[in-house]
Amino acid sequence: MTTPTSPAADPVGSDPAYVAAVVDLLGVVSYGEVSAFERLADDTKLAPTLRDKLALATMASVELGKVGALHARIEALGADPFEAMAPFQEVFEAFHHHTAPADWTEGLVKAYVGDGLADDFYREIAAFLDPETRDLVVASLDEDDGRVGFLVGRVREEIAADPPLGGRLALWGRRLMGEALIQAQRVAADRDSLTALLTGGVDRPGLDLAALGTMFTRLTERHAARMAELGLDS
């Protein structure tokens, strides 16, 4: 927990470029949660049993439940949460449009691999944030082991029952990764403030090209580890 500070004493408030970047970041993370809700809620239609449906619906609700605190922080920074989210709507919709699951197992893999990738990326960015915003972003990550246990367990069950499915889901995982990179690239190109968060500023350390490369390698390795957890090649 952070101690309460008056707005004037908030170190964040002293740098308008930083504030703009943080508002952007909180906008993208919170829209990501709204979007995850929509997609998971939609994928409940693919659930083969009522139990699976309820498990996925509960995940959707958990994602949505994180939005309130993120919006409160955006407001505390003097910005409007809906304006902050608006620039990212198209990117998320494009991602989901290009990665609509054809069936239940594709939906499960997407929930595990896609959200895992987003979380890894937010965790990397969190290192460059003020403590209060960092705590908030880290709290919005999916650390729930029950969730991961359910997703991994169900995917493995489905593959065990139908081994050729493994080949199809491995390709699906590659496609999710590819689409995520395409959309992340779009955000980086459109939102200078966000890229500046990573590359630093006059009085703020950032990443050089080598460090950005290392970060990218870490993200790829964690993606491969998740695919392996599902019993899939990456």
Closer to a second copy at the Cβ: 41 or 198?
A: 41
Applying CB under 8 A, the site for a second copy has a residue count of: 23
Kindly state whether residue 97 participates in binding a second copy, applying the rule CB under 8 A.
Answer: no
Tokens coding 68: 């309130």
Kindly state whether residue 51 participates in binding a second copy, applying the rule CB under 8 A.
Answer: yes
Kindly state whether residue 37 participates in binding a second copy, applying the rule CB under 8 A.
Answer: yes
Of residues 15-34, those binding a second copy (CB under 8 A): 34
Report the distance separating Cα 173 and Cα 111, nearest Å: 11
Tokens coding 150: 């359910």
Question: Site for a second copy (CB under 8 A): which residue of 65, 146, 178, 200?
Answer: 65
At its nearest, how many Å lie between a second copy and the CB of residue 89? 7
* Burial class of residue 46, CB neighbours in 10 A (0-12, 13-18, 19+): middle
Question: Site for a second copy (CB under 8 A): which residue of 42, 75, 93, 190?
Answer: 42
Of residues 114-173, those binding a second copy (CB under 8 A): none
Kindly state whether residue 95 participates in binding a second copy, applying the rule CB under 8 A.
Answer: no
3-class state of residue 204 by DSSP: strand
Can you list the alpha helix ranges (DSSP code H) found in 44-144? 50-65, 67-76, 81-85, 89-98, 104-109, 115-126, 131-139
Question: Site for a second copy (CB under 8 A): which residue of 22, 26, 67, 136?
Answer: 67
Closer to a second copy at the Cβ: 64 or 170?
A: 64
Kindly state whether residue 60 participates in binding a second copy, applying the rule CB under 8 A.
Answer: yes
Kindly state whether residue 89 participates in binding a second copy, applying the rule CB under 8 A.
Answer: yes
Report the distance separating Cα 21 and Cα 27, nearest Å: 10
At its nearest, how many Å lie between a second copy and the CB of residue 97? 13
Which of 56-62's residues contact partners 24+ apart within 8 Å by CB, and which partners? 56/107, 56/111, 59/111, 59/147, 60/36, 61/37, 62/142, 62/144, 62/147
Kindly state whether residue 48 participates in binding a second copy, applying the rule CB under 8 A.
Answer: no
Alpha carbon 54 to its chain centroid, in Å, reads 22
At its nearest, how many Å lie between a second copy and the CB of residue 83? 10
Dihedral sign (CA 213, 218, 222, 225)? positive
Residues in contact with a second copy by the rule CB under 8 A: 34, 37-38, 41-42, 44-45, 49-51, 53-54, 57-58, 60-61, 64-65, 67, 82, 85-86, 89
